[in-house]
Amino acid sequence: MEITPVIYENSVTSVDSSEDLYEDIKAEHMGSQTIRKNQEQKSSERDQLLTSYNYLLTSYKNLTTGRDHLETSYISVIAEKDNLQKKLSCLEKAAQEGWRYFNSRLYYISTEQKTWNSSRQDCRKRGADLVIINSKEEQEFVDSLSCCKDAAVFIGLSDRETEGVWKWVDGSVLTTGYWENGQPNNGKWISSQDCAVTGPQLGKRWNDKPCKNSYYWICEKNV
Ligand SMILES: [Ca+2]
Ligand SMILES: [Ca+2]
């Protein structure tokens, strides 16, 4: 008996269709993965761009702020330079007029001798007043101005208002003085002595003298 092979056409067709379907699903799956990967990549690139943009924006803001600070600093430096130039011109003019600079103040020693009142008037005409000595250093500077004089020099100190109460020309009461030994003595029996001079000698050097006597004097003013 001959056996005839039986061909199950539908079955063959069915296997082929399954493979196609599998391939289709696989392709679709791969396609989806590719699309998803592309989307993820695009999303990542967008995030990177956004980060870069934010970084650039922050940098720009920082640069702008830095530029504003520089501009402000530049304006301040220019203003300070102008201010210093004005001060320098002022100091040069003062030096030509005989003023000497010490510790942000200007001092002038006279070339003639006058009474205490006339001396003070002269200082006021120069935009100053008789010198007020606030420290040992200032006294030493005053010494350096007066040491070459052959006579005493009036300073801005007197007890004309109340005997024995020594006040500076700005109204403040004397706290530290550099009196010679035995001074102030108000002249004892000779005459009233109410105006202070600083002597040409070194050491303790102040003395009270009659205000109507004539001496050199020292003026002091702000720069
Ligand atoms: Ca006196
Ligand atoms: Ca005296």
Residue 6 lies in a domain: no
Residue 4 lies in a domain: no
pLDDT for the residue 118: 98
Q: Say which CATH number the domain at 183 has.
A: 3.10.100.10
Asked if the model's pLDDT at residue 1 lies above 60, the reply is no
- Verify that 126 and 189 share a domain, yes or no: yes
- Verify that 112 and 90 share a domain, yes or no: no
- Verify that 32 and 126 share a domain, yes or no: no
pLDDT for the residue 14: 61
| Residues with Cβ–ion distance below 5 A, ligand 1 | 159, 186, 194
Asked if the model's pLDDT at residue 204 lies above 70, the reply is no
- Ligand nearest, relative to CA of residue 207: 2
pLDDT per residue over 105-142, tens digit each?
Answer: 999 999 999 999 999 999 999 999 999 999 999 999 99
- Verify that 155 and 143 share a domain, yes or no: yes
Domain range enclosing 173: 100-222
- Verify that 105 and 196 share a domain, yes or no: yes
Q: What would the mean pLDDT of 137-164 be, rounded to a whole number?
A: 92
Q: For residue 141, how far is its CA from the centre of ligand 1 (angstroms)?
A: 26
- Verify that 142 and 198 share a domain, yes or no: yes
pLDDT for the residue 202: 54
Q: For residue 185, how far is its CA from the centre of ligand 2 (angstroms)?
A: 5
- Verify that 198 and 111 share a domain, yes or no: yes
Domain boundary among 73, 96, 119: 96
Asked if the model's pLDDT at residue 203 lies above 80, the reply is no
- Verify that 79 and 106 share a domain, yes or no: no
- Ligand nearest, relative to CA of residue 184: 2
Lowest-pLDDT choice from 12-26, 88-102, 206-220:
12-26
Asked if the model's pLDDT at residue 165 lies above 70, the reply is yes
Domain boundary among 67, 96, 125: 96
Beta strand 216-222 pairing with 153-158:
parallel
Q: For residue 137, how far is its CA from the centre of ligand 1 (angstroms)?
A: 26
Surface-to-core class of residue 154, CB atoms within 10 Å of its CB (0-12 exposed, 13-18 middle, 19+ buried) = buried
Q: For residue 118, how far is its CA from the centre of ligand 2 (angstroms)?
A: 20
Confidence bin at 18 (pLDDT 50/70/90):
confident
Q: For residue 192, how far is its CA from the centre of ligand 1 (angstroms)?
A: 6
The more confidently predicted of residues 211 and 144 is 211
Q: For residue 208, how far is its CA from the centre of ligand 2 (angstroms)?
A: 4
- Verify that 58 and 111 share a domain, yes or no: no
Q: What would the mean pLDDT of 30-55 be, rounded to a whole number?
A: 90
pLDDT per residue over 177-193, tens digit each?
Answer: 999 989 999 987 777 99
| DSSP per-residue codes, the chain | -PPPPPP-HHHHHHHHHHHHHHHHHHHHHHHHHHHHHHHHHHHHHHHHHHHHHHHHHHHHHHHHHHHHHHHHHHHHHHHHHHHHHHHHHHHHHHHHTT-EEETTEEEEE-SS-B-HHHHHHHHHHTT-EE----SHHHHHHHHHHHTT-SS-EEEEEE-SSSTT--EETTSPBP-S--BPTT---TTTTS----EEEE-SSSSS-EEEE-TTS-BEEEEEEE-
- Verify that 90 and 104 share a domain, yes or no: no
Contact 131, 139 (CB under 8 A): no
Q: For residue 214, how far is its CA from the centre of ligand 2 (angstroms)?
A: 15
- Verify that 26 and 109 share a domain, yes or no: no
| Total domains, the chain | 2
